[in-house]
Amino acid sequence: MVSIERTAYARLKNNISQKELTEKYTLLLNEIRHAYSVVRGDASAII
């Protein structure tokens, strides 16, 4: 079996700070606009 280090699945850090989470996962304004332009109707909205 292939070790985890040699796969496409990177290991996550055990202690991720709130700052890191915010920096990596907060959508930018252009990303939010794109999401709204793709979504069709209120039932599809995820934001």
Average pLDDT of the residues in 8-23: 83
Q: Give the domain ranges of the chain.
A: 4-40
Separation of alpha carbons 11 and 1, rounded Å: 17
Report residue 7's pLDDT band, with 50, 70 and 90 as the boundaries.
confident
**pLDDT the model gives residue 37:** 82
* Tokens read off for 16: 């991720």
**pLDDT the model gives residue 45:** 55
Average pLDDT of the residues in 7-13: 73
Angle at alpha carbon of residue 8, lines to 39 and 1, rounded to 5°? 135
pLDDT tens column, 29-43: 999 888 888 876 666
What's the chain's average pLDDT?
A: 79
